[in-house]
Amino acid sequence: MFSFQLISTLASAALLVSATSTHRGGNCDTSKSVLDLPTTQTTLIVPSTAPLFVTLGVGVQNYSCSSTTSAYTSIGAVASLFDISCLAETPEFATIQATASIIWKNAPPSVKAHIIGRHILTPSLLGDHYFVTSDTGLAAKWDFTSFGRFAGNTSAFVIAAKVGDLPAPTGPAANVDWLALNNVQGALASKVFRIDTVGGQPPTSCVPGSDPISVKYTAKYLFY
């Protein structure tokens, strides 16, 4: 249960009460949703079509300490994905990842990511993001097979490989990179973009042999 201190933090974080109470439930038109990228970058190529899904990811980036470099190495991520397509034309949409980050970072360890979305932000839970083992190592997977209108649809997932990597335009030392990924398996989407990241970067060094760490982050994931 949230403490009074956390509730106070949430109240000061410009919560999305009015937007989410009006648009609760998802399944909204995405035709006007735009992949908002810095005009000077050429690494991530904007698709010519509208996204299939516009989501907010709330979760953790996981790292292990390299014994040879004394630096953290990514070992994947775990996140809950919430449908924010109905918020795309609201003023709150631009900063939803920052609002969610404040809430998520101040949540006690007992509060899981799917609780953050369901009880504070209120968009529908669409699926999970995690990593699986592939022939080439770890592979990113977005899985919608267990929730909402896709529950029981075994093809509602995508495993994708990175094809573009852009350091976060603001605060790259703290915020994980923006990414473009192409489908290698699954029928959910042909392309996935991670943008508007907040948090997720590990400390710059570590002690070899130390335990793996998880760093909280939020981001928008758009599926095409």
Q: How many CB atoms lie within 10 A of CB 77?
A: 23
* Type of residue found at 102: I
| Whole-structure pTM value | 0.88
Any domain includes 37: no
Per-residue confidence (pLDDT) for residue 98, from 0 to 100: 94
Any domain includes 40: no
Any domain includes 30: no
Return per-residue pLDDT of the chain as tens, 224 residues: 444 344 334 433 433 333 333 333 456 888 878 888 999 999 999 899 999 999 999 999 999 999 999 999 999 999 999 999 888 888 888 999 999 999 999 999 999 998 887 655 556 899 999 999 977 789 999 999 998 889 999 999 999 999 999 999 999 999 999 999 999 999 999 999 999 999 999 999 999 999 999 999 999 999 99
Per-residue confidence (pLDDT) for residue 122, from 0 to 100: 58
Any domain includes 152: yes
Any domain includes 6: no
Are 95 and 210 spatial neighbours (Cβ–Cβ below 8 Å)? no
Any domain includes 43: no
CA 145 to chain centre: 17
C-alpha closest to that of 124 among 73, 178, 53: 53
Per-residue confidence (pLDDT) for residue 174, from 0 to 100: 98
Q: How far apart are the first and last CA of the chain?
A: 37
Any domain includes 109: yes
Residue 173 belongs to domain spanning: 52-223
d(CA 198, CA 123) in angstroms, rounded, equals 19
Domain count, the chain: 1
Q: Judge residue 71's burial from the number of C-beta atoms within 10 Å of its C-beta, 0-12 exposed, 13-18 middle, 19 or more buried.
A: middle
Per-residue confidence (pLDDT) for residue 120, from 0 to 100: 54
Any domain includes 91: yes
d(CA 138, CA 121) in angstroms, rounded, equals 30
Per-residue confidence (pLDDT) for residue 143, from 0 to 100: 98
